Structure 1
C-alpha cells in the first residue's frame, strides 16, 4: 500500500486496521490484497467505493482490485451496487455480511459430508485417517453447528433489543 492514503480518509488507526485485516486473511489463505479490500471496505467513508477508489486508497493495481473484487463477490463477501444516474459500479460489504457468512456454514458442512461419504467408498488401504478424520469432523459439526447457530441467533436478538 502506498502513502497516498491520507486523501482517502485512512487515518493511521484505520490504516492499521486495514493492514491487520489483510494480514489475518492472508494467513488464512485468502490473500493480502483481498484482505486489504475487506479491511478498507469495513472502515471507509462512504461505505460504497468504486474500483478505482479502492485501488487508489490501497495502492493496488486496477487488475488486482478487479480480480479480488470478483473473487470476494463470488463468495458473497462483497457486493456490487449501483447509484441512480451513475454509470460506475460501487462495491461494499453486504449488510450483516459476517453473520450471513457464518450462517452459510450449513452449506459447507453439507458439502464436506458429501466428500466424507464419497471418501468412505474409496477408502485408501493405508492411513485411513485421511478420510476418517474428515468424517469425524463433519459428524461433530453436524451435531454442534445447529446448536451454535441457534445460540448465535439468540445472541443477536438480544443485541438488537
Structure 2
C-alpha cells in the first residue's frame, strides 16, 4: 500500500506543472525575468524534498511499529528500504515531468505515467514467475527499489545508484524537452517552426504560398517572426509576453476584427491567458472591443492611429513631471548647488518635451494626411 501511495503522490505532484500550462499560469510566470527551465527545476526539487519528508516519516513509522510489535528489523535495513521506495517515487515523478514537458496536456501525462508505472510493476512481478524471466525484472524500476528485499537482505547500493542515475537522466531530459518546446502550442500537441534569427523578419525558410489569412498550408504563419518580435519588445516594456502576442496578431490578422475564438485558435494558448491579455489591451485603449447587430460574439481590433494617440496622451505625464521638478527646485536653499543643477537639468528637459511632443504629433498628422 505504501508503494502505491508513493507512486500516486509522485505522479500527482509532478503533473501540476502541466496544469499550470493549461490554465495560463505558466505563461504569466515565464513572462517574468527568470530562466525558462526554472519552474520545472523548482518542481523537481520540491518533489525531491517532499519525497524525502514522506519516506522519513514512513521509516520512523516502520521502526516504531516494529518496536511495539517486538519485530527485529535492523534500523539500517529499514532506512535502505525507505530510501529505495523514495528513489522509485522520484524516478516516477521525473518520468511524469518528462511526459508533461513533451505533451503539455494533463490527460496524456497522467495516462502515460500510469501506463509506465503499471508496466514496470507487472514486469517486476511477472518476471519472477517463470524461469529465465530475470531479464524482464531488470527492465523495471521496481526491481531496483525492492527486488533485492532490502528489509531482509540489507542494502544493495548498486540498485540505489541505478535509481539515482535514472532519475537524474530523466530529469535532465525533461528540462531539455521543456526548453525546446513551443509552450503556446504544446497544450494542443502542435509544433511550430523554430524562431528565425531575426525575429522581426518573416521566416523565409518556408516558401510555400500563403493563404488569404497570412498562413501557409499546415497552419505555419509567415508572420510568426513578427508576432514573436512584437511580443518580446512589449515584454521589455513591462508587459506580459502573451499580451504582446495578442497585440501582434491583431496588428497583422485578416480580417482585422477577430473573435475570442479566432484569437485563441491563432495563438494556440490557454483561454485564461488570452482573456487577461485582451482585458489589459482594452484597458490600455490599444484594442477596441465591439459587437455586430444580430451577433452575440465580441470582436477585437487594434485601434486605428493608436500610436499617435498614446504619444499625445503621454504629454500630460510630461506636464506633471515638469510641475513636480519645479516644486523640487523650490526646496533647495542653494539654487546653484550640484543637487539643484541635477533636478534643473531634468526639469528643463521635461519642459522642452512637453512642448515638442504635441507639436511632433501634429506634424505627423499633417504629413501623413497630405
Question: Quick check: TM above 0.5?
Answer: yes
The Cα of 1:113 is off from its aligned counterpart by: 4.9
**Partner SS for 1:101:** helix
The Cα of 1:83 is off from its aligned counterpart by: 1.1
**Residues 96, 122 of structure 1: alpha-carbon distance in 2 compared, 3 angstrom cutoff:** same
What are the residue-to-residue correspondences of 1:135-150 with 2, within 5 Å? 136-137=345-346, 139-150=348-359
The Cα of 1:136 is off from its aligned counterpart by: 4.9
Q: Deviations over 1:74-102 (max 9, x none)?
A: 11111101111111111111111111111
RMSD: 3.2
What are the residue-to-residue correspondences of 1:78-89 with 2, within 5 Å? 78-89=287-298
**Residues 35, 136 of structure 1: alpha-carbon distance in 2 compared, 3 angstrom cutoff:** farther
**Partner SS for 2:292:** coil
**Residues 139, 14 of structure 1: alpha-carbon distance in 2 compared, 3 angstrom cutoff:** same
**Residues 35, 89 of structure 1: alpha-carbon distance in 2 compared, 3 angstrom cutoff:** same
Aligned pair count?
A: 156
Mapped to 2, the partners of 1:102 and 1:112 lie a distance apart of 15
Q: Which has the larger radius of gyration?
A: 2
Mapped to 2, the partners of 1:29 and 1:9 lie a distance apart of 30
With normalisation by structure 1, the TM-score equals 0.78
1:34 aligns with 2:243: yes
Mapped to 2, the partners of 1:22 and 1:61 lie a distance apart of 16
Of residues 213, 235, 240, the one that matches 1:9 is: 213
With normalisation by structure 2, the TM-score equals 0.37
Mapped to 2, the partners of 1:30 and 1:24 lie a distance apart of 9
1:55 aligns with 2:264: yes
1:72 aligns with 2:281: yes
**Is there any run of 5+ residues in structure 1 with no aligned partner, and where?**
124-128
**Is there any run of 5+ residues in structure 2 with no aligned partner, and where?**
1-183, 193-209, 216-220, 333-338
**Partner SS for 2:295:** coil
Mapped to 2, the partners of 1:64 and 1:158 lie a distance apart of 39
1:22 aligns with 2:226: no
The Cα of 1:17 is off from its aligned counterpart by: 0.7
Of residues 139, 155, 159, the one that matches 2:364 is: 155
The Cα of 1:13 is off from its aligned counterpart by: 3.2
Stretches of 4+ aligned residues off by more than 6 angstroms: 4-8, 117-123, 132-135
- Residue 66 of structure 2 is matched in structure 1 by none
- Residue 126 of structure 1 is matched in structure 2 by none
Mapped to 1, the partners of 2:276 and 2:347 lie a distance apart of 32
What are the residue-to-residue correspondences of 1:98-109 with 2, within 5 Å? 98-109=307-318
